[in-house]
Amino acid sequence: MNDLIKKLVEAYGPSGFEDQMRDLIRPEIEKYADEISVDAMGNMIALKKGKGKGGLKVMIAAHMDEIGLMISHITEDGFCRFTNIGGIYPHTLMGSRVQFADGRIGIIYSDRITDRSKIHGLDKHYIDVGASSKEDCPVKVGDAVGFVRPFLAQGKMLSAKSMDDRIGCVIAIEAMKRLKKSPHDIYFVFSVQEEVGTRGAQAAANMIDPDVGIALDVTLAGDTPEPTPIAVELGKGTAIKVKDTGMIAHAGLVRLMKKRAEEADIPYQLEVLTGGSTDARSIQIANGGAAAGCISIPCRYVHSQSETVHADDVENSVKLLVEILSKPIEL
């Protein structure tokens, strides 16, 4: 799986600019889907039709987009000021490299720091693309950037700039490959614009109108020095979401997820996240509502350029998803 992870996490695709991601994912799933479509927002929707009786309409969502930056104005000297796309922490930025859609690289720095205990806000940072004036600057206002950071696998610890949520995309692709038989019509949605408010999944869920929705996304891990408190640890199993700040997962679906994990001896943890949400929130409240939940992948350093997950948790997440999808879903 590491080759596919590397391919997806190193690629460019900030929210609203996911076309290169679509081009990378499409050939990976073509063989396993009955139909693939792309909606007006850019969501890529792969339908795997069910066989037999008692099937439901199920939507699986993994978001292709990543956090990034957008050029807001260019100084007379050719430095690019920017705003955020999604949740960017200024203290993760100094010295970072970013990539533009055409592969051009830029370097981030900030205005002079006089008090080292303080960090400037985003408005006092800039991207240097090697230009010497506004006129010869090769990038334009409105250009979006993603970060640059090579994929790192140290044993089972996997680190990258956009594990959130390319690892969810990998899990969806792997599940499509492994799923031999299912009674359900399954819509695998590779969604857009999650990082700016789960917007793509909302449009897709309104269109699909699923009975059941499951998002695949990262959650925090509470096993590092003085972390945000959460009862989830790296390498201790896939995490079944119970609650986050955007939703309370469908109790019947949580029960079913736990049951399927226990039947198949898949280690799992229960997730109550006190900051953040996922595409599952949008699915839950689309149209007349859906039974929604989330399979979460424990992740250290979320929204930094070294988001870190454990290979066993990834594998267990694939297994749990396949277990759920290959059997009847009684809520």
| Interacting residue ranges for Zn ion, rule: CB under 5 A | 164-165, 217
> Which is nearer to Zn ion, 143 or 165 (by Cβ)?
165
Provide the minimum distance between the beta carbon of 39 and Zn ion in the complex, in angstroms, as a whole number.
20
Provide the minimum distance between the beta carbon of 229 and Co ion in the complex, in angstroms, as a whole number.
19
Cα separation, 97 vs 252, whole angstroms: 45
R_g over Cα of the chain: 20
Task: Candidates 25-33, 147-155, 162-170, 199-207: pick the segment binding Co ion (CB under 5 A).
Answer: 162-170
Number of residues that bind Co ion (CB under 5 A): 1
Q: DSSP character for 226? A: S
> Which is nearer to Co ion, 182 or 193 (by Cβ)?
193
Torsion 197-147-237-264 (CA) sign = positive
Is 313 a binder of Co ion (CB under 5 A)?
A: no
> Which is nearer to Co ion, 86 or 213 (by Cβ)?
86
Task: Candidates 47-55, 89-97, 163-171, 263-271: pick the segment binding Co ion (CB under 5 A).
Answer: 163-171
Torsion 167-172-174-175 (CA) sign = positive
Phi-psi region at 303: left, alpha or beta (left = phi > 0; alpha = psi -120 to 50): left
The entry of Co ion, Zn ion, none near residue 10 (CB within 5 to 8 angstroms by kind) is none
Residue type at 219 in one-letter notation: T
Task: Candidates 43-51, 130-138, 140-148, 160-168: pick the segment binding Co ion (CB under 5 A).
Answer: 160-168
> Which is nearer to Co ion, 185 or 194 (by Cβ)?
194
CB 95 within 8 A of CB 126: no
The entry of Co ion, Zn ion, none near residue 313 (CB within 5 to 8 angstroms by kind) is none
Provide the minimum distance between the beta carbon of 165 and Zn ion in the complex, in angstroms, as a whole number.
4
Return the active site residues: 194
Task: Candidates 159-167, 205-213, 220-228, 291-299: pick the segment binding Co ion (CB under 5 A).
Answer: 159-167
Identify the residue among 28, 65, 164, 185 touching Co ion (CB under 5 A).
164
Provide the minimum distance between the beta carbon of 308 and Zn ion in the complex, in angstroms, as a whole number.
14
Residue type at 13 in one-letter notation: G
Give the residue among 218, 199, 194 at the shortest CA–CA distance from 65. 194
The entry of Zn ion, Co ion, none near residue 217 (CB within 5 to 8 angstroms by kind) is Zn ion
> Which is nearer to Co ion, 78 or 86 (by Cβ)?
86
Two tokens, residue 181: 């038989």
| DSSP annotation string for 58-105 | EEEEEE--B-EEEEEEE-TTS-EEEEEES---GGGTTT-EEE-TTS-E
Cα separation, 293 vs 250, whole angstroms: 6
Q: Which residues bind Co ion (CB under 5 A)?
A: 164
